[in-house]
Amino acid sequence: CGVFGVNGVVDAANFVALGLHALQHRGQEAGGIVSHHPEFGFNSARRMGYVRDNFTSQDVMDTLPGALSIGHVRYSTTGSKGNTAIRDVQPFFGEFAMGGAAIAHNGNITNADALRRELIERGSIFQSSSDSECIIHLMARSLQKGIPERMEDALRRVEGAFSVVAMTRTKLIGVRDPLGVRPLVLGRIGDGWALSSETCALDIIGAEFVREIEPGEMVVITEDGKIESRRPFRQATSRFCIFEHVYFSRPDSILGGRSVYETREAIGRELAKESPVDADLVCPVPDSGTPAAIGFSLESGIPYAMGIIRNQYMGRTFIEPTEHIRNMGVRLKLNVNRALIRDKRVILVDDSVVRGTTSRKIKEMILDAGAKEVHFRIASPPTAWPCFYGVDTPQREKLLAATMSEEEMRQHLSVDSLKFISLDGLYRAVGEAKGRDAGCPQYCDACFSGEYPVEPADMIAQGFQL
Ligand code: 5GP
Ligand code: SF4
Ligand code: MG
């Protein structure tokens, strides 16, 4: 998911709409905006679908007045999926002591089932099936006086990954979990402030990037622009999601002082060093494989070519009416550039292999177009474990790498070769020169290593085995 908030600007909701539009890659299912105006109070609009289709009309934006606003773009990892999910669209808003608050959450709460049961037993009335709603109920029940203090109280009970942007009637608040699994950055716009999942959304509103919110940090920003930094949690070693570098973040964002694009190019270079192959062309699987393919080409000297073209107008919310059309899935989105591919030995670079269904179809398309050989190079290690911290991976059994060795996967995809970057190579590419095991890992890499930095309590209760 993506979160964004701004204060101290006229018609703040318009800035939030732009910010969310720049964060659309983090969640295409739905979006929502809450604003506050001293006269009109809290207002909210939550809609299924893209930001550009919902938050550009004057009719909708006129209902969101005020100089303080937050928003969220949703990608479902918990709660309901599909088009009946409007009740799970954030921000969540609740009125309780001290005037209430709205929150937008990116991440995944790993003890949400247990918290929800406890809260319902004590009388909380849940409106959604989302894990994030627990935070509002915990805040409402807290005995602390101020809302930021209630939020500290609430978040100390919550386990897992959370980057939260929240607002009261007057304050804008940003918090990252103690491990800082998901990103959150601070920007300056005029006399106001902005909080965003990624820096690319600061760029779109002309805000200046100030710094990242630190793991375990809470910032409370007042109406008159004062900013206060707090440390509500026990100190921990940070474990940022390494997959943000590989896939999730936008290539024009800056993470940990590094351009995501440059990191991805470095991943491609590492791949070329680790797993070279003689071939005629390096082709990305668009768009997620593109920077790594460029890096692979630069390092190997094998020409880069756009052998697969993506239809820019194909969104994830495209209506897929029948099973037959659903099976055509990738063909609706990707097509082979036949003239380039015929009689060539092709290296395909993609960011990850999850179920392997996309990879298989792409390989068939490339062979149909007359390629002589197909070599897959993957910009992440084999995804053998599900993510419980806010990226929607399928159950372990559905992950190709959970049940197959690299050679078995190669046979399953029936390609001439298949190589993944090593975990050490990935660490080198993100700037850890000594690789992963030189010190304690400085990233979360659980989906590759199975080493979960936060115990996934709810999943273990459901029978998941580490
Ligand atoms: P597969 O071949 O395993 O079916 O799909 C791999 C493709 O899924 C890759 O091209 C990658 O870009 C994409 N992918 C990786 N992670 C995610 C994710 O969390 N959500 C979605 N929708 N796609 C993903
Ligand atoms: Fe990121 Fe993977 Fe960790 Fe999930 S399990 S937070 S995707 S590194
Ligand atoms: Mg992809």
Is 200 annotated in some ligand binding site?
A: no
> Given the CA of residue 182, which atom of ligand 2 is nearest to it?
6
Q: Is 391 in the pocket of ligand 2 (CB under 6 A)?
A: yes
The predicted structure's pLDDT at residue 439: 73
> Which amino acid residue places its CA nearest to atom 14 of ligand 1?
352
Mean pLDDT confidence for 404-430: 97
- pLDDT of residue 318 exceeding 50, the answer is no
Retrieve residue 176's tokens.
Answer: 């990252």
The predicted structure's pLDDT at residue 317: 42
Question: Which pLDDT band, with edges at 50, 70 and 90, does 438 fall under?
Answer: confident
| Nearest Cα to Cα of residue 385 among 430, 349, 423 | 423
The predicted structure's pLDDT at residue 328: 64
Question: Mean of the per-residue pLDDT values for the chain?
Answer: 94
What are 85-103's pLDDT values in tens digits? 899 999 999 999 889 999 9
- CATH tag for 263-435 (out of 3.40.50.2020, 3.30.43.10, 3.30.70.270, 3.40.1400.10): 3.40.50.2020
Lowest-pLDDT choice from 51-65, 107-121, 308-322, 444-458: 308-322
Residues 55, 106: contact at Cβ < 8 Å? no
In 275-430, which ranges are continuous DSSP H helix?
290-300, 323-327, 329-333, 338-341, 357-368, 400-403, 406-413, 423-429
How many Cα atoms are found within 13 Å in the side-chain-facing hemisphere of 268?
32
CA 169 / ligand 1 centre spacing (Å): 39
Q: Is 389 in the pocket of ligand 2 (CB under 6 A)?
A: yes
- pLDDT of residue 444 exceeding 90, the answer is yes
Compute the 3-state secondary structure of the chain and give helix, strand, coil in percent, each to the nearest 5: 35, 25, 40
Ligand 1, from 318, 352, 392, 420: best to mutate by most atoms within 8 Å of Cβ? 352
How do strand 443-444 and strand 240-241 relate by DSSP bridges?
Answer: parallel
Ligand 1, from 81, 288, 318, 354: best to mutate by most atoms within 8 Å of Cβ? 354
CA 353 / ligand 1 centre spacing (Å): 7
Residues 409, 401: contact at Cβ < 8 Å? yes
Strand partners, 165: 104, 174
Retrieve residue 175's tokens.
Answer: 């918090």
Q: Is 243 in the pocket of ligand 2 (CB under 6 A)?
A: yes
Q: Please give the Cα distance from 458 to 13 (Å, whole number).
A: 35
Lowest-pLDDT choice from 46-50, 243-247, 433-437: 433-437
How do strand 68-74 and strand 2-7 relate by DSSP bridges?
Answer: antiparallel
The predicted structure's pLDDT at residue 80: 64
Retrieve residue 28's tokens.
Answer: 């295409």
Burial 137-152 (b: 16+ CB within 10 A, else e): bbbbbbeeeebbbbbb
- CATH tag for 2-238 (out of 3.40.50.720, 3.60.20.10, 1.10.486.10, 1.10.10.10): 3.60.20.10
What are 240-263's pLDDT values in tens digits? 999 999 999 999 999 999 999 999
Residues 3, 194: contact at Cβ < 8 Å? no
Mean pLDDT confidence for 154-183: 98
Q: Please give the Cα distance from 426 to 295 (Å, whole number).
A: 13
Whole-number percent of the chain with pLDDT over 90: 87
Q: Is 351 in the pocket of ligand 1 (CB under 6 A)?
A: yes
The pTM of the whole model exceeds 0.80: yes
> Given the CA of residue 362, which atom of ligand 1 is nearest to it?
2
Retrieve residue 219's tokens.
Answer: 């910032």
Question: Which pLDDT band, with edges at 50, 70 and 90, does 320 fall under?
Answer: very low
Q: Please give the Cα distance from 304 to 296 (Å, whole number).
A: 9
Question: Which pLDDT band, with edges at 50, 70 and 90, does 115 fall under?
Answer: very high
Q: Please give the Cα distance from 465 to 307 (Å, whole number).
A: 41
Q: Please give the Cα distance from 143 to 361 (Å, whole number).
A: 56
Q: Please give the Cα distance from 250 to 33 (Å, whole number).
A: 22
The predicted structure's pLDDT at residue 319: 45
Q: Please give the Cα distance from 235 to 244 (Å, whole number).
A: 23
Q: Is 391 helix (H, G, I), strand (E, B) or coil?
A: coil
Question: Which pLDDT band, with edges at 50, 70 and 90, does 321 fall under?
Answer: very low
- Count other Cβ atoms within 10 Å, centred on residue 52: 12
Sign of torsion over alpha carbons 354, 297, 341, 278:
negative
Q: Is 244 in the pocket of ligand 1 (CB under 6 A)?
A: no
Structural Rg of the chain based on CA atoms: 23
What secondary structure does DSSP assign to 244-278, as a single string? IIIIIS-TTSEETTEEHHHHHHHHHHHHHHHS---
Domain limits of the chain? 2-238, 263-435
The predicted structure's pLDDT at residue 312: 82
**Number of the ligand closest to the Cα of 360:** 1
Strand partners, 71: 4, 33
Mean pLDDT confidence for 127-144: 96
- pLDDT of residue 316 exceeding 70, the answer is no
Ligand 2, from 75, 109, 163, 181: best to mutate by most atoms within 8 Å of Cβ? 181
ipTM of the complex: 0.93
Mean pLDDT confidence for 209-230: 98
